[in-house]
């Protein structure tokens, strides 16, 4: 349904050749002479790989580890990479930023520890004239817009919900028995992260909207359960839901895996979703946490939604190489800016353990 943004080899190669004429090559270029100004394109300039400075908010983060591994792989042979671990401390990251600027990197890729501190990064990068690719932890759009050489690469909250909707469609197509009462509709319960959190609201809304758009008839059981992303709160709420509606719930949708796991615990307590058991209510979450992956592997949970770290790393690499080469951020890539004009959104990916 959603077209996945794929890095093309062609784009990378193009970027690579552009990098060869980067105006900010690290090595000092000899002063131009009259002979060099002749229009002789046959003489190959020795390739100067750009230097990419990468600041990571902390290495000890499962998702971000995937991103940086993909980024390193994508830059391998195309750039020199200097990567730093901010260890979850903004002051540390600020120092690392100073060092990278001092080293004269050609482009900065910044995963902010504190997204609110991004204006300080922009200020320094701007003063040094270094293009900056923010990723994952999103600075205020105005901050990104304040520097014409800044861009943001992240995800889109609505996408996680839409992906859940597509998963629901697929689950019920493949498993007609999930429609316990056989009415052709999916009786579902919804577990929301927080009442006013835009991410939570978007996931709740778009999961159902997308399933409906895919042709699934959705029928909510009870009120939306707001459980603050929390496993225990979700378990208690699910226990209450089951006490009132056992046998009438055909699907659990949770804004995150933490709550999904709590719902599964409540189900397991009354004999549902037991490994190898025959009573089962599909549960769909978001995040692809280890607990969720484990539950999916055991068959006690149906699916989750994964932030596609590999796609993110590839996107950062392409955009950064363009920037280092003095080209437009998205030149020769398949990426597009969203309505802000400064952000690229990488789609989520379904995770069903298959």
Q: Enumerate binding residues for Ca ion (CB under 5 A).
A: 179, 181, 183, 185, 187
Residue 3 CB, nearest approach to Ca ion (Å): 31
Q: What per-residue string of b and e applies to 167-193 under the rule 16 or more CB within 10 Å gives b?
A: bbbbbbeeeeebbeeeeeebbbbbbbb
Nearer to Ca ion, 218 or 288 (CB): 218
Q: How far is the CB of 267 from Ca ion (least distance, A)?
A: 17
For residue 295, the minimal CB distance to Ca ion (Å) is 23
Helix (H, G, I), strand (E, B), or coil: what is residue 134? strand
Name the closest residue to Ca ion (Cβ).
179
Strands 251-254, 80-85: pairing kind: unpaired
| Closer residue to Ca ion, CB minimum distance, 59 or 178 | 178
Q: Residue 81's beta-bridge partner residues? A: 52
Q: Under a CB-based contact definition with an 8 Å cutoff, are residues 1 and 29 in contact?
A: no
Minimum distance between the CB of residue 350 and Ca ion, rounded to whole angstroms? 22
Report how far residue 69's alpha carbon sits from residue 192's, in angstroms, rounded to the nearest whole number. Answer: 32
CB of 179 vs Ca ion, minimal distance in Å: 4
H/E stretch holding 54? strand 51-56
Edge-first strand listing for the sheet containing 150-154: 80-85, 51-56, 107-110, 132-135, 150-154, 343-345
- Which residue, 172 or 191, is less far from Ca ion as judged by CB? 172
Tally the residues of the chain.
Answer: 354
CB nearer Ca ion, residue 183 or residue 338:
183
- Among 136, 156, 132, 128, smallest CA distance to 144 is for 132
CB of 188 to Ca ion, least distance (A): 9
Residue 93 to residue 105: CA distance in whole angstroms: 16
Cα dihedral 280→308→224→168 (10° resolution): -40
- Nearest residue (CB) to Ca ion, 247 versus 277: 247
**Can you name the residues that pair with 130 across neighbouring β-strands?**
none
- Smaller CB separation from Ca ion, 36 or 183: 183
Q: Return the number of the residue (183 or 328) whose C-beta is nearest Ca ion.
A: 183
Min dist CB 264 to Ca ion, Å, is: 20
């Amino acid at each position: 349904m959603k077209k996945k943004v794929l890095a093309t080899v062609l784009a990378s190669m193009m970027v690579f050749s552009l990098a060869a004429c980067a105006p900010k090559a690290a090595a000092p270029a000899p002063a131009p002479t009259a002979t060099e100004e002749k229009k002789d394109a046959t003489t190959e300039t020795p390739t100067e790989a750009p230097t990419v400075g990468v600041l990571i908010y902390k290495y000890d983060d499962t998702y971000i580890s995937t991103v940086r591994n993909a980024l390193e792989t994508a830059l391998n042979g195309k750039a020199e990479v200097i990567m730093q671990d901010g260890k979850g401390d903004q002051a540390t990251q600020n120092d690392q930023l100073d060092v990278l600027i001092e080293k004269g990197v050609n482009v900065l890729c910044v995963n902010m520890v504190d997204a609110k501190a991004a204006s300080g990064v922009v200020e320094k990068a701007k003063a040094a004239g270094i293009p900056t690719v923010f990723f994952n932890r999103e600075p205020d759009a105005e901050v990104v817009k304040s520097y014409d050489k800044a861009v943001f690469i992240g995800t889109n909250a609505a996408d996680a919900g839409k992906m859940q909707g597509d998963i629901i469609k697929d689950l019920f197509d493949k498993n007609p028995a999930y429609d316990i009462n056989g009415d052709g509709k999916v009786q579902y319960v919804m577990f929301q992260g927080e009442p006013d959190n835009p991410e939570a609201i978007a996931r709740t809304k778009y999961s159902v909207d997308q399933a409906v758009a895919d042709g699934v008839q959705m029928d909510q059981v009870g009120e939306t359960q707001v459980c603050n992303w929390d496993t225990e709160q979700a378990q208690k709420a699910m226990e209450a839901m089951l006490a009132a509606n056992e046998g009438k719930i055909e699907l659990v949708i949770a804004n995150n895996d933490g709550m999904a796991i709590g719902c599964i615990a409540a189900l397991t307590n009354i004999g549902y979703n037991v490994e190898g058991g025959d009573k089962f209510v599909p549960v769909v979450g978001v995040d692809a946490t280890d607990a969720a992956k484990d539950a999916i592997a055991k068959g006690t949970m149906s699916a989750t939604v994964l932030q596609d770290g590999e796609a993110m790393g590839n996107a950062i690499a392409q955009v950064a190489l363009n920037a280092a080469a003095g080209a437009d951020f998205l030149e020769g890539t398949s990426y597009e800016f969203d309505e802000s004009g400064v952000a690229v959104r990488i789609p989520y990916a379904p995770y069903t353990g298959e």
